[in-house]
Chains A and B, each alone.
Chain A
Amino acid sequence: MEKEFAIRASNISKTFTITEDSHNTVKHRLFNLFNPPRRKILEAVKPMSLTIEKGECLGLIGRNGSGKSTLVRLLAGVYPVDKGEIEINGSTLLLNLGVGMSHELTARENIYVSSSVLGLTIKQTDALFDTIVGFAELQDFVDTKIKFFSSGMVARLGFSIAVHAGAGIMFLDEIFAVGDMKFQEKAVRVFESSWIEGKTVVLVSHSLDIIQKYCRRSAYLKKGELVFLGDTATALEHYMADNH
């Protein structure tokens, strides 16, 4: 029987057009009708197909600028693809430091809004609320607008929401490389608990140890091209061979 898929991408690609001078007003466009800006085409993700199975943890490796972050945004449905098709089976969450939050809202409101966006009901959020606040260590600031928070407090809240509310498909983009040491320890501890069980996780990291530890399958990207997708050991070999 074919395994259930979380994401199926067929022949997807993404190109960015970078203009030297951004013409983003009607006035600017009119005045520069005969003087178009110089464009540069950047093929961030070259045509590729891949399937991510439900419940698996897939590693994503490649050097800086190899298209990892763009691919992750395409697979999460945040960026539209130029060509090809993506089927996403469930809610997705792209997590680097935290989840998206409004600085005009209080911690309480952000918890409810973010959890709701991630697919939780208000009742489910009620049940998780104290845990989220406790983990973020923000018990005394629940009804304070987060624009008055320090960046560390915002990061803790975002991470706590992501960890507890989560989404069916999580994209973790270098989560072990941000925040202070205590924060990183906390991230690792969460990861080592049973948190990822049952979730589909795409893990982007330069730390090969972490990829090796958690991912059975990995994808290796090079200059926007999917060079290899399969067992992690072979993917790492490709990566090492190209970097030495």
Chain B
Amino acid sequence: MTRTMADDRRPLDASWLHRQRRHFRLWRRFLGQAVVRETHYRAHFATTLLVGLVELGLGVVPILLLFGFAQEVQGWSRAEVITLVGVYQIVTGLMAAFVAPNLQRMTSYITEGELDGVLLRPVSSQFYLTLRWINVAELSNVASGIAVLVIGLVQSGASPNAAQVLQAFVLAACGLVLLATVWSALAFLAFWLQSVGPIAYIYLNLVEAGRYPLAFFPVAVRAFLTFAFPVAFASTYPAQALAGDLGWTPVAGGVALVVVAVTLVRLLWRRGLRTYASASS
């Protein structure tokens, strides 16, 4: 066949590490622009903050009522469940700030051909599609989550040591990544289903289960919330780690699950892209 030629240029990334650095720099630009944008919409920030606070309060209502009728449920005290709600609020707040705004756009990316504009860029398309848009105002929910977490810890009198804090941190990070992969997987179904708006809605309702300890559910549901829809890593496990009831085994399990989930989503993404590139016109 006929060969072609191009200008001599230094490669875009000299190494794998350079490539990651370029992507990180790009992400920092996303964040910077989102912050600037948010300052133009102060009303939006105020509304998000207020709605977030009310929703947080509302989420605590069933728990407060529940512990009005019982001192302890399945070995969980009220203060421990409040700690758990704090962790849940932080993780879901991070999701809402960094991941959710992107996956909500998947439908329009695919049906309106905006994906073409992304595929033409010399960046990882999955990275771009998952992290391009940031809703800074949602970070206020992370702040309120931290406050709730502290209240819960103080009330329960827990004094986690460094190892336990590390465990909780790693578990919560696993929870964040796992939730993001689950949502990505649901969003990537848009390659085949065209519209995934309602599916995102299922996610938002299912994730509510994370407001309660795993132990509050029947065994089958616990397995579902650990492995299939792993919201347990975003609330129950980190809260248990902070209470000191958890060893390193669940942490290792969480990391292993992350590896599996990320690999699967990566495969799904490749399959989807393949479908897109051979079917779109």
A-B complex is real = no
By a beta-carbon cutoff of 8 Å, the part of chain A in contact with chain B is none
B residues engaging A (CB < 8 A)? none
